[in-house]
């Protein structure tokens, strides 16, 4: 899901960007291509007969998984027309009977009160500004039934902090010579980060306090906080240091 508004062309609706995006491993292999998925699946628990909302659904991989797991109904939304149309084309008629795909902007989305048992979002929230993030948490809280779950992943604050997200060579004086170092000089400076990922994307950095504090202020009880760090088997040749800092933050909360 891309940071944008419906008055602009979402980045995923730009033909060249979308075609390149479809070639990424997690778009080729779905949930099996997402290294953090086993953690999220464990936090989600049983989906049978649950009413589910997928925010920033992309190609609909999780929405289809939820339907196949016996969820009663799934609403799945994304700001990108390309994403929604592709997701529909990848969903068979049997699953479509209990699914609804919609084009929605997470900056302005309005959710019905106590409509869902589970709200899910994968790697979408770091595209939202602070105000939009806080507003969305309030919308999600109101949309859940008592005891309902919100499970999400986002890029880890340590990963989003630097203006130039790249490892640096450690100096001999640091005692870490020979080991790459990840810069955290702007960790406390929340706000816009522009990266060269896929040719240029705007994301928003917020601290761990900003994320968890926002959840608590919205009324949620925090049940699970996990950090995904690359294992040796996950690291490609030449990706020195990837296993030394977290890339994803996975959180599970409940409405109380």
Q: pLDDT tens, 166-177?
A: 888 776 555 566
Integer Rg of the chain from CA: 18
Where along the chain do its domains lie? 11-255
Q: What is the mean pLDDT of residues 186-198?
A: 87
Q: Binning pLDDT at 50, 70 and 90, where does residue 201 land?
A: confident
**Residue 165 has what pLDDT?**
83
150, pLDDT greater than 60: yes
Q: pLDDT tens, 17-59?
A: 898 889 888 899 999 999 999 999 999 999 999 999 999 999 9
Residue bearing the bigger pLDDT, 244 or 103? 103
Under DSSP, the state recorded for 161 is -
d(CA 140, CA 220): 10
Residue 202 tokens, joined: 């705007």
CATH of the structural domain 11-255, one choice from 3.40.50.300, 3.30.420.40, 3.40.50.150, 3.90.1640.30: 3.40.50.150
Q: pLDDT tens, 60-113?
A: 999 999 999 999 999 999 999 999 999 999 999 999 999 999 999 999 999 999
């Amino acid at each position: 899901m891309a940071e944008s508004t419906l008055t602009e062309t979402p980045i995923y609706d730009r033909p060249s960007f979308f075609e390149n995006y479809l070639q990424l491993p997690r778009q080729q292999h779905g949930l099996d291509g997402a290294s953090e998925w086993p953690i999220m699946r464990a936090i989600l628990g049983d989906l049978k007969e649950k009413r589910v909302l997928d925010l920033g659904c992309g190609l609909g991989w999780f929405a289809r998984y939820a339907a196949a797991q016996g969820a009663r109904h799934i609403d799945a939304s994304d700001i990108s027309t390309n994403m929604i149309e592709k997701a529909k084309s990848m969903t068979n008629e049997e699953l479509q009977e209990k699914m609804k795909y919609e084009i929605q902007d997470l900056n302005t989305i309005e959710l019905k009160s106590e409509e869902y048992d589970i709200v899910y979002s994968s790697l979408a929230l770091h595209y939202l500004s602070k105000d939009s993030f806080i507003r969305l948490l309030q919308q999600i809280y109101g949309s859940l039934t008592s005891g309902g779950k919100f499970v999400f992943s986002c890029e880890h604050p340590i990963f989003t902090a630097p203006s130039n997200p790249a490892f640096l060579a450690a100096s001999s004086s640091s005692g870490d010579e020979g080991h790459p170092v990840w810069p955290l000089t702007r960790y406390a400076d929340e706000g816009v980060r522009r990266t060269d990922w896929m040719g240029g994307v705007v994301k928003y950095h917020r601290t761990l306090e900003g994320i968890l504090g926002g959840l608590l202020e919205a009324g949620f009880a925090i049940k699970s906080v996990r950090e995904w760090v690359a294992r040796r088997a996950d690291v490609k040749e030449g990706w020195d240091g990837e296993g030394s800092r977290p890339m994803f933050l996975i959180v599970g909360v409940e409405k109380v």
